[in-house]
Amino acid sequence: MSMTQSQLRTNEAELIKSVCAGEREAFYELVRPYERMIYATAISVVRNPADAEEVAQEAVLKAFSHISAFRAEAKFSTWLVQITYNEARMKLKKARPHLYESIDDQQQNEEGDFWPKDYADWRPIPSELLEQKEIRQVVQNAINSLNPSYREVLVLRDVQHLSIKETSTILGISEPNVKTRLHRARLLLRDSLAPGIDGSWIKGQPYRKARAW
């Protein structure tokens, strides 16, 4: 049975008290439910598993050493994800300063309408498809190919299922902005994944466009 939001918060508040009192094990218990969230956040920025793991570890250590700065009115998960973002962005900035600078330039192109590339019909995706490593890789690659400002919003909203409000807090952008970027991200992903969704990903067949725009 899953805990309600308020039970979770009470439980987390207790654990945080214990951590502040010097119980390290309590911190591990506090963080464990969010490991995947931290990892997914990290990889959405740095885009490779090794760097993502390093970022995740650094973020967790940082959260531990700054636990006294955590404000009870915030959500612990939001706070953790925020720290992870900062760590991940710092790493990226160090490794590829030029790439990082370009992020801001690209963000100015959000105005205007998005026109779908084609109207290919998608059948529902069989869930078993994701059991295949290649399929997961295709989806990851498609996400990775998005402009960072879209990718970040998509990962928080659709991968991690955070609310619009939480996403806006974490990224420091307005709620309408979250919606606009998410919209763009989803349609771009649809464009890049639609070609293979009928199975041609697996078989390696060239995609036949259902209808060129």
Partner 1 sequence: MVKKEGEMATIEISCVEVWRQISDYLDDEISPEMRERMEAHFKACAHCTAVLDGTRNVVELVGDGRVFQMPDGFSKRLYKKLQKLP
Binding site for partner 1 (CB under 8 A): 24, 27-28, 31-32, 35-36, 39-40, 43, 49, 53, 56-57, 60-61, 64-65, 113-116, 119-122, 124-125, 127, 130-131, 136, 139-140, 143, 154, 158-159, 161, 164, 179, 182-183, 186-187, 189-190, 193-194, 197, 210-211
Q: Which is nearer to partner 1, 75 or 190 (CB)?
A: 190
> What interhelical angle do 49-65 and 35-46 show, nearest 10?
130
Cα 49 from Cα 32, distance rounded (Å): 19
Cα 80 from Cα 34, distance rounded (Å): 8
Least distance in angstroms from the C-beta of 40 to partner 1: 4
Least distance in angstroms from the C-beta of 136 to partner 1: 6
Q: Which is nearer to partner 1, 154 or 170 (CB)?
A: 154
Instruction: For residue 10, list its beta bridge partners.
Output: none
Q: Which is nearer to partner 1, 92 or 197 (CB)?
A: 197
Least distance in angstroms from the C-beta of 120 to partner 1: 7
Cα 208 from Cα 185, distance rounded (Å): 23
Q: Which is nearer to partner 1, 11 or 122 (CB)?
A: 122
Least distance in angstroms from the C-beta of 51 to partner 1: 12
Contacts of residue 120, Cβ cutoff 8 Å, sequence gap at least 6: 194, 195, 197, 198, 209, 210, 211
C-alpha dihedral over 1, 154, 56, 78, to 10 degrees?
-60
